[in-house]
Structure 1
Amino acid sequence: MENNVSELVERLGSDEDAVRKMAVFKLQSSIGDPSFADVFIAEDGLTRLRYLALHATGNTLAYSLASFARLLEVDKGWECVDQELVERVVELIVTHPLVNILRGAMSILVSIVSHPSSVGRLSQNGVFGFRALKPAIAIYPQFLEMLVNRLSSADHALCANALQLINSLMRDSITNDSELEWPKFIQKLQDLGVIKAVYTLMQGTALQDHAHPLIEFQSLTKILLRKWRDIPLDLHKAEHRRALKGVHLASIQDKGSEAGSDVRRSRKHSSEKWRRLGFESESPVVQFEDMGFLGMMDLADFVRNHQDEFQKMLLEQSTKPARQRCPIARASLSVTSILYDHFEVDKCETEDSKTYLILESRSNLDRLFKPLILHWTRLHVAGLQTFFRLWKSTSAELEDCDKIVELVRILIESVVGGSPRTKDVQDVEEDLAEFEYSRLRNLQMELLELTYEDAWSQHLRQVREELQHEALQFVKEQRIRRLLQGAWFPNDAPKTDGKLAKPKWRFAQLSHNRRFLHFGDFESTGIDCPELDVLPGKIDLSIVSSVVSNVSASPDSSSSATVKSAPHQRVSSTKITIHGCAPSAGALNDTQKGNGHSRSASRATQKEAVLLTLRPESTSVASEWLDGLLMLLNQQPITAETSKLIKLISNYGLKIRLLNVRFDDAVFAGEAPAVPSREGLTDDYYYDIFGGA
């Protein structure tokens, strides 16, 4: 190996560019081996490689930069990293158009910025990380702008390298810069459009090519949010004082009141200076304990960018009693907290990386990336506007604030959490603004059921089964009572001399003891229903073997009855046919002679026949009679209408029970709500199960 390395190093110093180019081209594939790198450095190859990186051009330069980057990746060659090399690489990134040169240059800077501690010449001054680049960036101030512009490059590898370098700069700045410096650097990147560029990449089709730097940027975004949240609001800091004062000044309707002779008066603290903005007391700092400076930033951004809406809201609220005023500041902090929880900002970034390794496939990457977190401010504004809308539409009062917060939480979880990776933030904003309150309440009830199911799944299943049985018995009784009332049915119209005879009507009614079905045919329907004793037909239900119908059945029904679907037929063609075991003549004679054969014993000599045909005029009557007859025979109901009614009743029963069960502290954190008083109430109330409250 040593002979080969010596020969390679010698060729790196050749006077002919073609020889140097071929040598450094071969070096790319070998220098990543630490043992090879050690021999290469021992043969003084590092000095020649550094020289090529500083002075070569074209492909020779590209191969040299790539080789040097791979050497740094195996933690070798740091003794040759100095300000001259850094300045050269920064210059190339700013001025050079060739993609293969830019890739290597960016990889070198990523290693320098990410290196925890530097050796060699840089370490003499204790300069490493982002600080190593600052002198060169001062010479080439357009460096960051060019770097952000590379994020829109059509070359995926270059784009990934640029984002990787931005990530390294951000991470080092957050970790090592002072509290005053790192926010300025982050703000500068945002002003250059890094959020928009990364958001586009996250929504793009080349997700796998950029996956690693994108997941790191997403994790860094969480680190930033967490860092801002962990900074307590401190009015001794000028920036914090300015932010809070800006909120107050934006709330003043007449800015002229702070000028001229009114300056002294305007400076006096009103007894409701902060409470009228939605703070719980005149010490607003206390309310930022949970969300820290992040909560202050979100509130200040809303007030600054939506000042007209802010002032209009304050003016509207000022005309209402104190208990009915929407607490704007409290609402803003609540939305910040909701977003913080939704995006799992406290989740460790290493967990994101592990998740990526597990989910490294195109379909699962869609679940891993959350582009909407990059538009935190816009989501906060949309969530806050949703809070205002719900407050107005529900006529809420201060004691209802927590309920509105919970509704906003559910809405954000549903809309933001349910949005696919490629959905644009503007569409999400529109969905939040247009989500109907009634849908939100239904969603809340579904989540309530799921919450109980998680906590008490076994007990809840038992309750569901009980309610299902109770609902079935309730509907069975309702259907049978319809049979007890009786109903008119159009009768079959036989042909007479090729013409239809006058239509006849058939009346059928269940006997009071529920054992016989009486029926009779009439020329017309009377005002009053006929009495049972005038109905000549009579069927003993104990001999009924089956009920056949063409009424549409519920998709999940199961019954021994034959059911045919006829969706295109008219209602008048709906038919219910009752089959039974008609006794044979021999069996009838034996019975009449008193041979003592019971009905069950004689069924062997009986054959099934049509006992009665009914033609219901509507689907409701058809459902009532078909399922009523089936349930009389101890069979399950089969029509969609009956199944829907059973489900409706059991669901209402479950919701009523859920709303009457009190959570304990083990299920929900915090104090249990107070039980409302019934003082002044009477028992004069009712609930319409079909029409709502």
Structure 2
Amino acid sequence: MENVNVAELVERLGSDEDAVRKMAVFKLQGNIGDPSFADLFIAEGGLTRLKYLTLNASGNTLAYSLTSFSRLLDVDKGWECVDVELVERVINILRGAMSICVSVVSHPHAGGRNSPQPDMFGFRALKPAIAIYPQFLEMLVSRLSSADHALCANALQLINSLMRDSITHDSEAEWPKFIQRLQDLGVIRAVYNLMQDSALQDLAHPLLEFQSLTKVLLRKWKEIPLNQEKPEHRRALKGIHLASNQKGSEEVLEKEKESTNTTSNAADDAKRSKRHHPEKWRRLGFESESPATEFYGVGFLGMMDLADYVRSHQDEFQKMLLEQSTKPSRQRCPIARASLAVTSILYEHFEVDKSEMDDSKNYMLMDSRSSLDRLFRPLLLHWTRLHVAGLQAFFRMWKATAAELDDLDKLIELVRILIESVVGGAARTKDVQDVEEELANYEYARLRELQMELLELTYEDAWGQHLRQVREELHHEALQFVKEQRTRCLLRGAWFSLEAGSGSKSDPVTTAKASNASHQYVQLSHNRRYLHFGEFNSLGERAPELDALPEKIDLSAVSSVVSNISAPDNTSTSTVKTAPRAATKITIHGYAPSSTSHGQGHNHSNSKHHRSTSRSTAKEIILLVLRPSSHSEASEWLDGLLMLLNQQPITSETTKLIDLVGNYGLKIRLLNVRFDDATFAGEAPPVPGRGGVG
């Protein structure tokens, strides 16, 4: 500071010559960081001239001015000059600087032959500067949180350009390090927040590109085959092995061997202690002792997912292995295979193989907020967390269903449906933590119902016409099944309570004689043509014989069956009302039989003619009133009588039973037919014989 005249320096800052101003501000940036120099500089009026240069200068003069102003603020001085005008100027400079960087990084490597500086394009153009200023990337990521959308978009566009160039041109050992560095700086969380923000429209282009680049990364990791000759691959496998705490299981194995071979000498014991566990990899859930071959479908991406789970949930991993070691091999949960399956499920769910060209075309068609909500998938950025949540859901279902190795494919399919439902159904603004909780709490029974619904929809699309035909056939079969069940309830007979004035109205004499009766017994005849009944003073220990029932009703004489049982969403000739259970009753209406037909000597050959002539003149009366003791019994008798009269059942209980039987029949057929089975084409397979069948 002794060699610098502050007053002279301030005077040169206001010179008309740019060279003089540039040299003055160059000297200023080296001294302004000293608080005492800063005080003298402000006292001489230098702050006003420095602000003027910051707002109006260009080139190196502007760069030196910005540096000087920054260092002045670092010593907590000059804040009185910070205003809206200054901030806007700085942001505009930053936007322009980032735009230039984007152009430089995005410029194709293959320049013309006359290009003077071919190394000044792509990521390699920025590498020297990033090496000198390591905080550059941190600053760049921090700009993603800026409230200035244009600045934020430029920063993200530059990050995209750096990522793309690094992935395309760096070696296999270099680009993962750069990507990891960006992730460590928090780029995933920052972009995730932007995708969930309400200002999505302003950042749509760079956000879509980042989402596409994420898929590019996943594809590259998947396409890298696992190779134990590569140090990083070998380290990843070794890390999984070490995290399994295999020493404890080896001690258990040694004890088992000692119990079966007590004659081993000390030398043999020492040799055995160095030997690997015979199921070193199979105990972790691999199918063989050569795990590298099992990563064929998911490549190094599958290894990364498994290694990350083992590293971040080591206690859970070791506890599971310890629990599984006590079970027979067929009942042990294949942790490694489950992990690889979840990786594959996520890969297919997010359509990672879909090209960037498809994403770009979709964006061109997206012009509304709802369209953007469908296009952007923020959860893709939290791939690792979704993998862990999906894997833990697999473990939970394995335990809940007491599954065995033969059930592995079935459980994988359930996890696929779970992820499609929860992750696929999540709104753009839904937080990843909420998705994790939903995956963890999804009920197995509800998942199975969803599986059957999806199965029906799948077959509906493939076999629509045939499936509708099958459904109609099964509904008819279910209707006949329930009709038979209800009819057998009538054949079995039942006791009903009597109230004053109830019973048969066809014979006033009988009614008066049995006025003291409190119960009646009703039963359908074996030929299903007559309804026999009788009234009794009390319930007998045994049901009365059919011949002991003095009265009967010819069902051909019944005109209608009326009840006050609730039957929502059904229409029929019956009166439909809601009544208390104690007041439930079924009233059978019909035509009073003539004296000739009422007795035992009725001539059947003349019955049809008699009915046709009598109904035209006879008056409809109440033939019988039944008072069921329960809603279930009322449903059985009401619908049983209606179905005997070839009418549709009306109670909700019977309707649910018909639907249940029909749906189960459909599900059984669907579960026993493969999707690619030519069930409705070609010749039917031969029907197996019944030999040996019980």
- Superposition TM-score, scaled by structure 1 size: 0.72
2:397 corresponding residue in structure 1? 390
1:603 corresponding residue in structure 2? 615
Query: Are 2:390 and 2:419, in contact at CA under 8 Å, matched by a contact in 1?
Result: yes
2-structure distance, mates of 1:531, 1:666: 55
What SS does the aligned partner of 2:120 have?
Answer: coil
1:647 corresponding residue in structure 2? 659
Query: Are 2:589 and 2:624, in contact at CA under 8 Å, matched by a contact in 1?
Result: yes
1:234 corresponding residue in structure 2? 227
Change (3 A) 1:196 1:517: same
1:526 corresponding residue in structure 2? 540
Alpha-carbon offset, residue 184 of structure 1: 1.5
Alpha-carbon offset, residue 266 of structure 1: 8.3
1:509 corresponding residue in structure 2? 523
> Which of 405, 416, 422 is equivalent to 2:423?
416
Alpha-carbon offset, residue 682 of structure 1: 8.7
Matched residue type, 2:588: I
Tell me if 1:113 matches 2:105. Answer: yes
2:202 corresponding residue in structure 1? 209
1:573 corresponding residue in structure 2? 583
Change (3 A) 1:597 1:281: closer
> Which of 548, 554, 569 is equivalent to 1:540?
554
2-structure distance, mates of 1:176, 1:273: 39
2:79 corresponding residue in structure 1? none
Change (3 A) 1:239 1:503: same
What SS does the aligned partner of 1:548 have?
Answer: strand
Query: Are 1:148 and 1:193, in contact at CA under 8 Å, matched by a contact in 2?
Result: yes
Moved more, 115-124 or 574-583: 115-124
What SS does the aligned partner of 1:456 have?
Answer: helix
Query: Are 1:202 and 1:369, in contact at CA under 8 Å, matched by a contact in 2?
Result: yes
Q: Note the alpha carbon deviations across 1:549-598, whole angstroms, 9 max, x for none.
A: 2212253x45343423x2xx42012232333356999xx9xx99x99964
Q: Note the alpha carbon deviations across 1:489-519, whole angstroms, 9 max, x for none.
A: 3334469xxxxx9883343333333233344
2:468 corresponding residue in structure 1? 461
Alpha-carbon offset, residue 633 of structure 1: 1.6
1-structure distance, mates of 2:277, 2:523: 79
Tell me if 1:550 matches 2:564. Answer: yes
> Which of 303, 312, 317 is equivalent to 2:310?
303
Matched residue type, 1:227: K
1:407 corresponding residue in structure 2? 414
Moved more, 544-553 or 216-225: 544-553
Alpha-carbon offset, residue 86 of structure 1: 14
Alpha-carbon offset, residue 644 of structure 1: 1.1
Matched residue type, 1:115: H
Query: Are 1:89 and 1:105, in contact at CA under 8 Å, matched by a contact in 2?
Result: no
Alpha-carbon offset, residue 538 of structure 1: 4.0
Matched residue type, 1:600: S
Alignment of 1:270-349 (within 5 A): 271-349=278-356
2-structure distance, mates of 1:595, 1:289: 82
What SS does the aligned partner of 2:565 have?
Answer: coil
1:613 corresponding residue in structure 2? 625
2:576 corresponding residue in structure 1? 563
Change (3 A) 1:313 1:124: same
Query: Are 1:411 and 1:440, in contact at CA under 8 Å, matched by a contact in 2?
Result: yes
Moved more, 594-603 or 370-379: 594-603
RMSD: 4.2
Query: Are 2:459 and 2:675, in contact at CA under 8 Å, matched by a contact in 1?
Result: no
Alpha-carbon offset, residue 346 of structure 1: 0.8
Alpha-carbon offset, residue 171 of structure 1: 2.0
Change (3 A) 1:510 1:173: same
Change (3 A) 1:459 1:299: same
Tell me if 1:473 matches 2:473. Answer: no
Alpha-carbon offset, residue 388 of structure 1: 3.1
What SS does the aligned partner of 2:656 have?
Answer: helix
Alpha-carbon offset, residue 601 of structure 1: 4.1
Change (3 A) 1:523 1:606: same
1:168 corresponding residue in structure 2? 161
Query: Are 2:494 and 2:523, in contact at CA under 8 Å, matched by a contact in 1?
Result: yes
Query: Are 1:112 and 1:129, in contact at CA under 8 Å, matched by a contact in 2?
Result: yes
Moved more, 173-182 or 103-112: 103-112
Alpha-carbon offset, residue 621 of structure 1: 1.1
Alpha-carbon offset, residue 479 of structure 1: 0.9
Moved more, 436-445 or 617-626: 436-445
Change (3 A) 1:246 1:296: same
Tell me if 1:145 matches 2:138. Answer: yes
1:657 corresponding residue in structure 2? 669
What SS does the aligned partner of 1:413 have?
Answer: helix
Alignment of 1:427-442 (within 5 A): 427-442=434-449
What SS does the aligned partner of 2:134 have?
Answer: coil
Tell me if 1:624 matches 2:636. Answer: yes
Matched residue type, 1:489: F
Alignment of 1:77-226 (within 5 A): 97-98=87-88, 99=91, 101-116=93-108, 124-226=117-219
1-structure distance, mates of 2:67, 2:500: 99
2-structure distance, mates of 1:237, 1:596: 95
Q: Note the alpha carbon deviations across 1:252-301, whole angstroms, 9 max, x for none.
A: 4559x9xxxx9999886554433333333333222222211111111221
2:39 corresponding residue in structure 1? none
Tell me if 1:637 matches 2:630. Answer: no
Query: Are 2:562 and 2:573, in contact at CA under 8 Å, matched by a contact in 1?
Result: no
Structure 1: runs of 5 or more not aligned: 1-14, 16-54, 65-82, 496-500, 668-680, 685-693
Alignment of 1:340-359 (within 5 A): 340-359=347-366
Alpha-carbon offset, residue 182 of structure 1: 1.7
Matched residue type, 1:649: V
What SS does the aligned partner of 1:507 have?
Answer: strand
Change (3 A) 1:104 1:627: farther
Query: Are 2:363 and 2:375, in contact at CA under 8 Å, matched by a contact in 1?
Result: yes
Q: Note the alpha carbon deviations across 1:227-268, whole angstroms, 9 max, x for none.
A: 11111223333222222222233234559x9xxxx9999886
Moved more, 162-171 or 178-187: 162-171
Matched residue type, 2:101: L
Q: Say how many residue pairs are matched.
A: 577
Change (3 A) 1:422 1:584: farther
Query: Are 2:581 and 2:631, in contact at CA under 8 Å, matched by a contact in 1?
Result: yes
2-structure distance, mates of 1:89, 1:165: 25
Alignment of 1:61-72 (within 5 A): none
1-structure distance, mates of 2:66, 2:529: 97
2:75 corresponding residue in structure 1? none
Change (3 A) 1:515 1:651: same
2:432 corresponding residue in structure 1? 425
1-structure distance, mates of 2:287, 2:278: 12
- Superposition TM-score, scaled by structure 2 size: 0.72
Alpha-carbon offset, residue 90 of structure 1: 12
Change (3 A) 1:380 1:263: farther
2-structure distance, mates of 1:429, 1:552: 44
Query: Are 1:152 and 1:159, in contact at CA under 8 Å, matched by a contact in 2?
Result: yes
Change (3 A) 1:494 1:627: closer
What SS does the aligned partner of 1:344 have?
Answer: coil
2-structure distance, mates of 1:636, 1:124: 89
Matched residue type, 2:211: Q
Query: Are 1:517 and 1:540, in contact at CA under 8 Å, matched by a contact in 2?
Result: yes
Matched residue type, 2:385: R
